[in-house]
Structure 1
Amino acid sequence: MSASALAVLPVLRSEIGEGLRAILREPTALVFSVLMPVGFYALFTSVFGGQQTSDGLPFAATSIAGYGAFGVVSVMLLNPGIGVAEDRTRGWLRVKMVSATPLGVTLAARVLAALPYALGVVLAMGAASLLVAGPVLDLATWARLVVVLVVGSLPFALFGLAVGFVASSNAAAAILNAVLFPMVLASGLWVPLELLPGFLQAVAPFLPTYHLAQLAQAQLTGAPAAGHVLAMLAATVVGAVVAGLAYRNLRV
């Protein structure tokens, strides 16, 4: 590792710690974004868990992909964005902009700080699955699913940061929720896509939430996933560019 990279590590650790504290300052958003998807999964699994899907898998297994995607997107979209918006309202971002902290370190730290919460919501859903339906996935499949959901949640944190850099904390919460719920519904994360109106089925392939859910589902069914991987990589690049532009044009 180069000397310049080593010099950045203490700054990155400090930035991650700050990001963790920023999320904890908004416990309502954190609890809501964790409890709601886990509660939805437990409710619908207790009702439909014994049924099988068209793939021949139990509903309790396949629904983890959809509700798991909903959970990590909720955490990663809402919490970093609302936290950075709060920092903006308090004037802390004004201090950051005149400091020597590189933009890439700031963005990376905010995203990394949210990852433990994304992991937490997936593990909580796994615990709910065991309690409600028993062991419906083998350990290897479960591990792949966790990795895909947590890593696939990264672009949503970048989009949340972009909103947080330009909006107040209250406005950021309203904007992000207004984006989250229609996107989740149109992607088939709550209701199977084939049961939704035709115009929503046509919109779904253009949404990153759809590709994350399909990528998670592929870990259970073995379906081809290369196209969904490319879509998530593209969403990550777009999210990074949008967040970077929002930060550079920040008015504090």
Structure 2
Amino acid sequence: MSTAPRTPTSPGGTPAASRTGGTAPRDTGGRTGLVARTAVVQLRASFRNAEFAVGAVAVPVLLYAMFGLPNASSQLPGGTRIGLAMLVSLTAYGVVSLALFTFGENVAKDRGRGWLRTLRATPFPTAAYLGGTSLTAAVHALLIVAGTGLLAALAGGVRLDVGRWAAFAGIMTAGVLVFSTLGFAIAYLARPRAATVMANLLFLPLAFASGFFFPLSELPAVIGDVAPYLPTFHFGQLAYRAVMPASDVAAFTGAATQPVALHVAWVVGSAVLLGAVALLAARREAVTRRG
């Protein structure tokens, strides 16, 4: 007995594709395939957008050139070069900025144009769109790591083994996904036209108070008191600890050394909380639209 697959037919026995003059449905690879296709489309669009390329990828590299290179050869008490510490600081700055503005601003724009509402009216799952956006941001985070890391290695004398480079890149990629929850919350809680303003109002104080620009020991004492309650501070501490000894992390940041597990708990816990807020806001909007 033949086991060859049969071509779908119409009730009259004629192949459906031939009868309609069309072709058989294309295999999209399931939800994973849709996420990958969405990411490819968004990456192509971002690479054609010079404003995005400069704002998201080039700015951290330029900041490192201006603030990281002048003192790159100086060393902390444990032997860590200042160039490496500044690499972590400014790459973390770029990654958190990417998370807030890719998710906060861009998703809010799509929401304001009605694109997300249109997706909900089609068979295309909204989760695939958001998953593709997350994958796109992860690729952009790797580009930031590559740009700042290459400059630090070539001009700043930064030397790391393969394992520590991989750990650094992994933490930064995970960071953009973790803080995307804050971007989603901004996208769904703020009005689309106000999302950019809201993202800036949140991002700049978070970056400043987390010690990405200046050690906490050089800032007012109140900022040092607030920093341990910020997820961005704990994200930065994890990144420093991946490539620097704890004593040099404390010397550079001006913050007392804390267990790695505490930093992980803060980062993951805030991501879960902010993700829940974003999900509730998205569901509320969907119900309001239907009502």
Give me the TM-score of the superposition, normalised by structure 2.
Answer: 0.76
Structure 1's 54 and 203: CA in aligned 2 closer, same or farther, altered over 3 A? Answer: farther
1:226 aligns with 2:249: no
Structure 1's 22 and 248: CA in aligned 2 closer, same or farther, altered over 3 A? Answer: farther
What corresponds to 2:160 in structure 1? 137
User: Which of 201, 208, 217 is 2:224 aligned to?
Assistant: 201
Structure 1's 245 and 50: CA in aligned 2 closer, same or farther, altered over 3 A? Answer: same
What corresponds to 2:65 in structure 1? 42
Q: d(CA) in 2 for partners of 1:91 and 1:225?
A: 42
Which digits, 9 at most, give the CA deviation of each residue in 1:42-82, with x for residues without a partner? 21222111211244311011222211111111112111222
One-letter amino acid of the counterpart of residue 263, structure 2: H
Q: d(CA) in 2 for partners of 1:23 and 1:158?
A: 21
Q: d(CA) in 2 for partners of 1:195 and 1:168?
A: 36
What corresponds to 2:6 in structure 1? none
Greater alpha carbon shift after TM alignment, 69-78 vs 132-141: 132-141
Q: d(CA) in 2 for partners of 1:42 and 1:12?
A: 35
The structure whose RCO (Cα within 8 Å, separation 6+) is larger is 1
Structure 1's 16 and 33: CA in aligned 2 closer, same or farther, altered over 3 A? Answer: closer
Structure 1's 67 and 218: CA in aligned 2 closer, same or farther, altered over 3 A? Answer: same
What are structure 1's unaligned runs of at least 5 residues? 1-5
1:9 aligns with 2:32: yes
Structure 1 residue 176 displacement after superposition = 0.5
Percent identity between the two aligned chains: 33
Q: d(CA) in 1 for partners of 2:95 and 2:243?
A: 18
1:242 aligns with 2:277: yes
Greater alpha carbon shift after TM alignment, 82-91 vs 134-143: 134-143
User: Which of 211, 223, 237 is 1:188 aligned to?
Assistant: 211
One-letter amino acid of the counterpart of residue 249, structure 1: R
Structure 1 residue 130 displacement after superposition = 2.1
1:31 aligns with 2:66: no
Greater alpha carbon shift after TM alignment, 168-177 vs 191-200: 168-177
What corresponds to 1:3 in structure 2? none
One-letter amino acid of the counterpart of residue 73, structure 1: V
What corresponds to 2:185 in structure 1? 162
Q: d(CA) in 2 for partners of 1:101 and 1:116?
A: 23
Structure 1 residue 143 displacement after superposition = 1.4
Which digits, 9 at most, give the CA deviation of each residue in 1:213-244, with x for residues without a partner? 10011112344422111111112212221221
Give the conservation status (yes or no) of the 8 Å contact 1:30–1:79: no
Structure 1's 25 and 204: CA in aligned 2 closer, same or farther, altered over 3 A? Answer: farther
Give the conservation status (yes or no) of the 8 Å contact 2:137–2:177: no
Q: d(CA) in 1 for partners of 2:165 and 2:280?
A: 37
Structure 1's 225 and 12: CA in aligned 2 closer, same or farther, altered over 3 A? Answer: same
Greater alpha carbon shift after TM alignment, 15-24 vs 75-84: 15-24
Q: d(CA) in 1 for partners of 2:107 and 2:41?
A: 10
User: Which of 116, 120, 124 is 2:143 aligned to?
Assistant: 120
Give me the TM-score of the superposition, normalised by structure 1.
Answer: 0.87
Higher helix fraction: Structure 1 or Structure 2? Answer: 1
**What secondary structure is seen at the aligned counterpart in 1 of 2:272?**
helix
Greater alpha carbon shift after TM alignment, 25-34 vs 118-127: 25-34
What corresponds to 1:69 in structure 2? 92
One-letter amino acid of the counterpart of residue 74, structure 1: S
Which digits, 9 at most, give the CA deviation of each residue in 1:74-116, with x for residues without a partner? 1121112222122122211111233455554443332222111
What corresponds to 1:60 in structure 2? 83
What are structure 2's unaligned runs of at least 5 residues? 1-28, 247-258
One-letter amino acid of the counterpart of residue 240, structure 1: G
Structure 1 residue 153 displacement after superposition = 2.3
